[in-house]
Amino acid sequence: MAIEQIKMPQLGESVTEGTISKWLVSVGDKVNKYDPLAEVMTDKVNAEVPSSFTGIIKELVAEEGDTLAVGEIICTIEIEGGKAESQSAPEQKSAVAETAAVPQADQGNKARYSPAVLKISQEHGIDLTQVSGTGAGGRITRKDLLKLIESGNIPLEGTDVAITQQEQEQKTSIKEEAHRQPVSSKQAAPAVNIPVETGDIEIPVTGVRKAIAANMLRSKHEAPHAWTMIEVDATNLVEYRNSLKDEFKKKEGFNLTFFAFFVKAVAQALKEFPQINSMWAGDKIIQKKDINISIAVATDDALFVPVIKQADEKTIKGIAREISELAVKVRTGKLRSEDMQGGTFTVNNTGSFGSVQSMGIINYPQAAILQVESIVKRPVVMNNGMIAVRDMVNLCMSLDHRVLDGLICGRFLQRVKEIIENTSKSTTSIY
């Protein structure tokens, strides 16, 4: 018999962790290769983790509600045959030899703290350099810290002396809270004590909403947001689209939306201003080759951001088809993890619910997001001094100021404006 490990998979290009929302197996269950083991929730998508082996579930390392970094062990499986076992022995010996020769190697693994570990250590003043981890490669886990809190021997930051049990008794309320509410990196903030009165409704923050909150908080904390807006005359676009929409729906079977024209215009402008199609990577900026447009699609209680791949290579009809298909997948629960991966820039159709001006939170780790607001008729002073009723729309852009400056974003928006204002039957083909 041999014991194999199942680790937290990477369920998206920028996904660094996942939360076990539900175990689909128990210890002692027999599973086949590719059988689903658990449902995992990230800020991008909900997905099932399949088994990589056929065997018996030996241990569920993570509990439901636990958040683990990509690569951390979630469970172990006992499999038949000695091949895996024979391979594990020399690996273990090698690991022991390396630890003896280079003791700093273990410390390097420990230093890769998960968000959950960092949050608990900050709340309780724990000096992580003095904690021995039980995770892979000596990594400190959330369970290690909760055990320390329970024991009362907490190594304080800035000192080599652990808190005594007597001192820890003064922190009883903190310990009890740790037991009542397991800490997760998905918790955006400590619970607030708000009185609940008769008639009030308490709605638990769970599932996708908790993941969205964590990702939005991360984006606002890490990316210095700046904001800019431009006013666009979409009169020609409105006339062109309205002249086509009925025939298009009858012929193609899906709607030709205004949003498809805006996504196409943004994709074209990104090709001309590739700096916008970038991401912050700590010590460097990565300018992405492919133009993959993330679009926000909402359900009653959640927001998903599927991706239109290579949008610059698609026609307006092709983009309209993908928008329709992705929206159906979201609302029928058939969206796959691959549908959410690879986005390089986000376009949000806030105008669909009547918004005329808004500031979006950047879809981390992208460098910008564009809000397409509602098209409204307004009196406008034309170049000849005359006043005319025109179909106007605001385009609002939030940008990561580490990656982008106002000048390049202003030029990018001017180009999108130019494309939209020159969209007409004589200049633009939807095919």
What is the arithmetic mean of pLDDT over 421-429? 96
Pair of tokens at residue 223: 């990316």
Could you tell me if residue 42 is inside a domain? Answer: yes
Give residue-wise pLDDT tens across range 101-112. 333 334 444 455
Contact 295, 263 (CB under 8 A): yes
More confidently predicted of 100 and 297: 297
Pair of tokens at residue 146: 């909760």
Q: Look at residue 29 and tell me whether its pLDDT is greater than 90.
A: yes
- Mind giving me the DSSP string for 35-100? -EEEEEE-SS-EEEEEPSS-EEEEEE-SPTT-EEETT-EEEEEEESSSHHHHHHHHHHHHHHHHHH
Q: Look at residue 190 and tell me whether its pLDDT is greater than 50.
A: yes
Q: Residue 102: its pLDDT value, please?
A: 36
DSSP code of residue 155: B
Strands 293-295 and 345-348: parallel
Could you tell me if residue 365 is inside a domain? Answer: yes
* Average pLDDT for the chain: 82
Boundary-marking domain end, from 164, 187, 210: 187
Residues 285 and 308 reside in one and the same domain: yes
Contact 36, 23 (CB under 8 A): no
Report d(CA 115, CA 257) in Å as an integer: 41
Please confirm whether the linkage preceding 9 is cis (ω < 30° from 0). Answer: no
pLDDT-derived band at 114, boundaries 50, 70, 90: low
Q: Residue 183: its pLDDT value, please?
A: 41
Task: State the Cα torsion 184-188-192-196 to the nearest 10°.
Answer: -90
Domain that holds residue 175: 107-187
Pair of tokens at residue 147: 């055990």
Residues 167 and 94 reside in one and the same domain: no
Helix (H) or strand (E) holding 414: helix 406-421
Q: Look at residue 165 and tell me whether its pLDDT is greater than 70.
A: no
Annotation marks residue 312 as catalytic: no
Residues 253 and 366 reside in one and the same domain: yes
Annotation marks residue 221 as catalytic: no
Could you tell me if residue 202 is inside a domain? Answer: no
More confidently predicted of 36 and 227: 227
pLDDT-derived band at 137, boundaries 50, 70, 90: low
Report d(CA 408, CA 242) in Å as an integer: 33
Residues 228 and 172 reside in one and the same domain: no
What is the arithmetic mean of pLDDT over 117-144? 74
Pair of tokens at residue 175: 């310990």
Boundary-marking domain end, from 101, 132, 160: 101
Q: Which of 246, 290, 301, 405 is catalytic?
A: 405
pLDDT-derived band at 125, boundaries 50, 70, 90: confident
More confidently predicted of 239 and 194: 239
Q: Please list, residue by residue across 359-394, b when 16 or more beta carbons sit within 10 angstroms of its beta carbon and e when fewer do.
A: ebbbbbbbbbbbbbbbbeeeeeeeeeeeeeebbbbb
Residues 175 and 129 reside in one and the same domain: yes
Residues 112 and 68 reside in one and the same domain: no
Q: Look at residue 207 and tell me whether its pLDDT is greater than 50.
A: yes
More confidently predicted of 89 and 134: 134
Helix (H) or strand (E) holding 185: none
Q: Residue 331: its pLDDT value, please?
A: 86
Q: Residue 147: its pLDDT value, please?
A: 79
CA-nearest of 200, 203, 205 to 190 is: 205
Q: Residue 128: its pLDDT value, please?
A: 81
Task: State how many domains the chain has.
Answer: 3
Pair of tokens at residue 142: 């959330």
pLDDT-derived band at 174, boundaries 50, 70, 90: very low
pLDDT-derived band at 99, boundaries 50, 70, 90: very low
Give residue-wise pLDDT tens across range 16-28. 788 888 899 999 9
Top mean pLDDT of 146-160, 162-176, 212-226, 360-374 is at 360-374
Residues 51 and 122 reside in one and the same domain: no
Could you tell me if residue 373 is inside a domain? Answer: yes
Could you tell me if residue 362 is inside a domain? Answer: yes
Residues 164 and 274 reside in one and the same domain: no
Q: Look at residue 420 and tell me whether its pLDDT is greater than 90.
A: yes
Report d(CA 56, CA 376) in Å as an integer: 62
Residues 70 and 131 reside in one and the same domain: no
Boundary-marking domain end, from 187, 210, 234: 187
Q: Give residue for tokens 């709605």.
A: 203
Report d(CA 265, CA 298) in Å as an integer: 23
Query: What CATH number did the domain enclosing 397 receive?
Result: 3.30.559.10
Could you tell me if residue 208 is inside a domain? Answer: no
Task: State the Cα torsion 40-45-48-53 to the nearest 10°.
Answer: -90
Query: What CATH number did the domain enclosing 95 receive?
Result: 2.40.50.100
What is the arithmetic mean of pLDDT over 10-14? 70
Give residue-wise pLDDT tens across range 331-375. 888 888 889 889 999 999 999 999 999 999 999 899 999 999 999
Give residue-wise pLDDT tens across range 267-292. 999 999 999 999 999 889 999 999 99
Residues 134 and 92 reside in one and the same domain: no
CA-nearest of 314, 317, 325, 322 to 268 is: 314
What is the arithmetic mean of pLDDT over 42-65? 85
What is the arithmetic mean of pLDDT over 395-403? 97
Q: Residue 120: its pLDDT value, please?
A: 75
Residues 178 and 245 reside in one and the same domain: no
What is the arithmetic mean of pLDDT over 362-391? 95
Q: What percentage of residues in the chain have a pLDDT greater than 70?
A: 79
Q: Look at residue 35 and tell me whether its pLDDT is greater than 50.
A: yes
More confidently predicted of 331 and 155: 331
Contact 293, 343 (CB under 8 A): yes
More confidently predicted of 260 and 35: 260
Q: Look at residue 164 and tell me whether its pLDDT is greater than 70.
A: no
Q: Residue 400: its pLDDT value, please?
A: 96
Residues 281 and 368 reside in one and the same domain: yes
More confidently predicted of 145 and 152: 145
CA-nearest of 192, 148, 190, 194 to 171 is: 148
Could you tell me if residue 90 is inside a domain? Answer: yes
Out of 9-13, 34-38, 193-197, 400-404, least confident range: 9-13
| Length of the chain measured in residues | 431
Q: Residue 94: its pLDDT value, please?
A: 36
Could you tell me if residue 197 is inside a domain? Answer: no
